[in-house]
Chain A
Amino acid sequence: MSPIVRMILGRLALGLLSLVLVSLVIFMAVELLPGDIAQEVLGQSATPETVAAFRAELGLDQAAPIRYVHWLGGVLTGDLGNSLATGRDIGSMIVDRFGKTLFLAGYAAAISVPLAVTLGILAALYRNSIFDRIVNVATLSSISFPEYFVAYILILLLSINTPVFPSIADFGRDPSLGDMLYRTFLPAMTLVLVVTAHMMRMTRASIINLMAQPYIEMARLKGVGPARVILRHALPNALAPIINVVALNLAYLITGVVIVEVVFVYPGLGQLMVDSVAKRDITVVQGCCLVFAGIYILLNLLADVLSIATNPQLLHRK
């Protein structure tokens, strides 16, 4: 077996392990709930019999390890249990909203990734130029902005002062793709502004780090032209750090979505999660958390695998 395949398999196993651990942490968090879920849901006036019956219905009368295995089995087959507040099936609640969240995050990613990587490479190549300094101050400032600040500024400018885009990102029935892109333009833009700054700074830092390596200096001293130094020598080695930066920021996008969805009243998973926290609907929060954390881990895993698969040192090993 080639070392690359072995390393990738190792990473996959590690990723699977962290998924299991995270599911265990999310499950255990509920175990630590002070008091009894059944009592909490039914209220003070419930008789001991109803509480006992409800506990049996939820499966709370079994030992924790057995419930964990049951819960995990359910999660794997798409059954996340029922909401404590409404009794609705969580799986069907999440699926639709998760699709909306992915659409928004994907929209933002499609704009921000090429933008950030290009700007980052340019800033690194023209290091300490006026362009680099302006970009540095601009990105440092936009990192410091709370997401909702960016969101409301965009609403004020593009939705109220000059009404171009809607401030509430709600699709009607059967919207066309163009319509969806138009209606979610402001939330997507908010995410782009926040994420691009992070991604650009990290890309810049990793390219600068790379250009300081001895083999780049060697190539320059050999008399290789600047374009060839970048394309042949630097870029193949820069891929891994750039992939990592992108994955890290896509993962950040997934969590940044929570606030943006609330501001624009976008019916995504983040909104559902925030509403459920306020209602203390622990089973729904658990489900949302598991989905978000799963995506987060998968993205990091994908980055790991891709950066191994594109690593020139591993590919050209004698």
Chain B
Amino acid sequence: MRTLRLLSSAPPTALFGMTVIALYALVVILAPWIAPHGQTEIVGLEFEPWGGDYVLGTDNLGRDMLSRMIYGIRNSVTIALLTTLLSFALGSVLGLLAATLGGWIDQVLSRLVDVLMAIPAILFALLLLTITGTGIAQMIAIIAVLEATRVFRLTRATAMNVSVMDFVEAARLRGEGTGWIIRREILPNITSPLIAEFGLRFCFVFLAISALSFLGLGIQPPTADLGAMVRDNAALITFGDMVPLLPAAAIALLTIAVNFVVDWMLHRASGLKS
């Protein structure tokens, strides 16, 4: 009942966002059942036009474009989600520890993050990828660590504000342990900014991964990936064909949807009703 009332108060942009996110979630879960062909299966000639046997035509190697799109969404979204979760696990735990423990732990972690953030993330990712070589596991690890620095900053700042409050002080004087204070006193008070941040971070990670894949340095073929699909079929654009834009549009649509929802959540959290 409360959820329903909350939903009916949401602006149309947020409703649109939630619908799109739900649709993507369905595609991710049901990909093997709704895709007409396999992601690496060669079904016809190269660059067959859309309509006819293949709804969106075939790609540069003769694979069904629609199936590649469906699997591409599944692969890209899953990898981005995994990376975001990793960066949150790392960044928020360290941020909470730095805020509650303070002292030298806070100093060391904060200065380390300062140095890491002094280099733009995409450049740092390129430098590290040169060293480790390209691969999905390396990419996930690198982006997760780089994004964790941003999560750390936010978690530390919000947790700091809470940890100086009287009720936290009271808990400390009661003799509660650090773990208890973090879980029961601080965490419940910083969940809403963290959830909004999760949405924003997911967008950044999703865009970063697809950018690296577009550059040929991320998810490697033959695994279907939205960024790499744009690159592979870019030649078609010269013929005025829109198909190569579809994977890019799929990326844009999901990030817009997430941004709309996050925007609404931040608006609600800030207490502004207009």
Say yes or no: B244 contacts A146, CB within 8 Å: no
Would you call B197 an interface residue if the criterion is a C-beta within 8 Å of the partner chain's C-beta atoms? Answer: no
Q: Tell me which of A93-101, A176-184, A222-230, A285-293 binds B.
A: A285-293
Highest count of chain A CB atoms <10 Å: which of B121, B128, B130, B217: B130
Would you call B260 an interface residue if the criterion is a C-beta within 8 Å of the partner chain's C-beta atoms? Answer: yes
Q: Tell me which of A5-13, A19-27, A54-62, A105-113 binds B.
A: A19-27
User: Could you say which residues of chain B place their CB within 8 Å of the CB of A25?
Assistant: 115-116, 118-119
Say yes or no: A286 contacts B248, CB within 8 Å: no
Would you call B133 an interface residue if the criterion is a C-beta within 8 Å of the partner chain's C-beta atoms? Answer: yes
User: Could you say which residues of chain B place their CB within 8 Å of the CB of A259?
Assistant: 211, 214-215
* Complex: A141 Cα to B203 Cα, angstroms: 12
Say yes or no: A146 contacts B126, CB within 8 Å: no
Least CB distance, B265 to chain A, in whole angstroms = 13
Would you call A128 an interface residue if the criterion is a C-beta within 8 Å of the partner chain's C-beta atoms? Answer: yes
Within 8 A of A (CB), among B196-216: 203, 207, 210-211, 214-216
User: Could you say which residues of chain B place their CB within 8 Å of the CB of A254?
Assistant: 120
Would you call A140 an interface residue if the criterion is a C-beta within 8 Å of the partner chain's C-beta atoms? Answer: yes
Q: A277-B217, A278-B134, A280-B130 are in contact. List 9 more A-B contacts (CB 8 A).
A: A22-B115, A140-B256, A144-B258, A145-B252, A149-B245, A262-B214, A289-B124, A293-B120, A296-B118
Q: List 18 A-B contacts (CB under 8 A).
A: A18-B114, A21-B115, A25-B118, A26-B119, A30-B131, A140-B256, A140-B263, A141-B252, A146-B214, A146-B252, A148-B214, A156-B242, A258-B122, A263-B234, A276-B130, A289-B119, A293-B120, A293-B123
* Complex: A218 Cα to B214 Cα, angstroms: 53
Query: Interface 1/0s, chain B 235-249, versus A by CB < 8 A?
Result: 001111010110011
User: Could you say which residues of chain B place their CB within 8 Å of the CB of A305?
Assistant: none
Would you call A33 an interface residue if the criterion is a C-beta within 8 Å of the partner chain's C-beta atoms? Answer: yes
Where the two chains meet, the residues of A that have a C-beta atom closer than 8 Å to any C-beta of B are 18, 21-22, 25-26, 29-30, 32-34, 128, 137, 140-141, 143-149, 152-153, 155-156, 160-161, 167, 251-252, 254-255, 258-259, 262-263, 273-274, 276-278, 280-282, 285-286, 288-289, 292-293, 296-297
Would you call B164 an interface residue if the criterion is a C-beta within 8 Å of the partner chain's C-beta atoms? Answer: no
Would you call B95 an interface residue if the criterion is a C-beta within 8 Å of the partner chain's C-beta atoms? Answer: no
Least CB distance, B196 to chain A, in whole angstroms = 14
Would you call B23 an interface residue if the criterion is a C-beta within 8 Å of the partner chain's C-beta atoms? Answer: no
Say yes or no: A26 contacts B214, CB within 8 Å: no
Say yes or no: B245 contacts A156, CB within 8 Å: yes
User: Could you say which residues of chain B place their CB within 8 Å of the CB of A293?
Assistant: 118-120, 123
* Complex: A155 Cα to B260 Cα, angstroms: 27
* Complex: A70 Cα to B161 Cα, angstroms: 45
* Complex: A34 Cα to B263 Cα, angstroms: 43
Known: A144-B256, A155-B237. A262 touches B119 (CB 8 A): no
Describe B's contact surface by its main secondary structure.
helix
Least CB distance, B224 to chain A, in whole angstroms = 17
Say yes or no: A26 contacts B127, CB within 8 Å: yes
User: Could you say which residues of chain A place their CB within 8 Å of the CB of B130?
Assistant: 276-277, 280-282, 285
The 8 closest A-B pairs by CB, nearest first: A144-B255, A149-B248, A144-B256, A255-B120, A285-B130, A145-B252, A293-B119, A277-B130
User: Could you say which residues of chain B place their CB within 8 Å of the CB of A148?
Assistant: 211, 214, 230, 248
Would you call B251 an interface residue if the criterion is a C-beta within 8 Å of the partner chain's C-beta atoms? Answer: yes
Describe A's contact surface by its main secondary structure.
helix
User: Could you say which residues of chain B place their CB within 8 Å of the CB of A144?
Assistant: 203, 207, 252, 255-256, 258-259
Least CB distance, B256 to chain A, in whole angstroms = 4
* Complex: A153 Cα to B251 Cα, angstroms: 14
* Complex: A161 Cα to B245 Cα, angstroms: 15
Would you call B129 an interface residue if the criterion is a C-beta within 8 Å of the partner chain's C-beta atoms? Answer: yes
* Complex: A140 Cα to B128 Cα, angstroms: 31
Say yes or no: B120 contacts A29, CB within 8 Å: no
User: Could you say which residues of chain A place their CB within 8 Å of the CB of B255?
Assistant: 144-145
Say yes or no: B211 contacts A146, CB within 8 Å: yes
Say yes or no: B128 contacts A149, CB within 8 Å: no
Would you call B227 an interface residue if the criterion is a C-beta within 8 Å of the partner chain's C-beta atoms? Answer: yes
Nearest A residue (CB) for B210: A146
Would you call B13 an interface residue if the criterion is a C-beta within 8 Å of the partner chain's C-beta atoms? Answer: yes
User: Could you say which residues of chain B place their CB within 8 Å of the CB of A262?
Assistant: 214-215
* Complex: A18 Cα to B116 Cα, angstroms: 10
Would you call B274 an interface residue if the criterion is a C-beta within 8 Å of the partner chain's C-beta atoms? Answer: yes
* Complex: A34 Cα to B135 Cα, angstroms: 15
Within 8 A of A (CB), among B175-233: 203, 207, 210-211, 214-217, 227, 230
Within 8 A of A (CB), among B101-141: 114-116, 118-124, 126-134
Nearest A residue (CB) for B125: A277
* Complex: A156 Cα to B230 Cα, angstroms: 14
